[in-house]
Amino acid sequence: MFFCKHQTHKMSSYVLTRSFVGAAKKILWRTLHRPIHEAAESHQISNEEIQADLPVQLEKNPYEKPRVKCILCKYNIEPDYKNVRLLSQFQSRYTGRIYGRHITGLCKSKQAKVEHEILKAQNAGFMAYYFKDVTYVKDPQLFDPDHPFRPHNY
């Protein structure tokens, strides 16, 4: 009899504690996961705050890469067969070879124009076929032939 009574008492306390923990959990859940409309009621959001939070339309792409211009396009220089000093910078001083696009870093149209004008100057006798004029040797370097702009096989 006594034993049975004690057992029931123990059971009831267990049920009580369990229900108390459950209620506490429910309250905690409600405070953490409060519906949005309840949160909005407790804090009045002004129109300015809403406007400030809206996504902003950018005029141009901030991640857009800057357009790379070749040196002749950058300074708006048109290669000409009479401008030997300029053309001689696109030719090797040792072999007379006209440097390729991978070395000069020119755009396709300017490179073709430079090659054409160099041939024209050579045919007109303004430029040497193999050797650079000594007076042009110390001219500033437009590019480094030993470190090409673009990788190549040789």
List residues binding Zn ion (CB under 5 A): 70, 73, 107, 110
Amino acid letter at 3? F
Least separation in angstroms between residue 116's CB and Zn ion is: 15
Least separation in angstroms between residue 68's CB and Zn ion is: 9
The Cα–Cα gap between 68 and 74 comes to: 9
Please identify, using beta-carbon distances, which residue of 73 and 98 lies nearer to Zn ion. Answer: 73
- Provide the token pair at 99: 């440097």
The Cα–Cα gap between 111 and 98 comes to: 10
Please identify, using beta-carbon distances, which residue of 110 and 132 lies nearer to Zn ion. Answer: 110
Least separation in angstroms between residue 67's CB and Zn ion is: 10
| Integer CA distances (angstroms), 4 to 18, 43, 75, in order | 21, 55, 103
Please identify, using beta-carbon distances, which residue of 11 and 112 lies nearer to Zn ion. Answer: 112
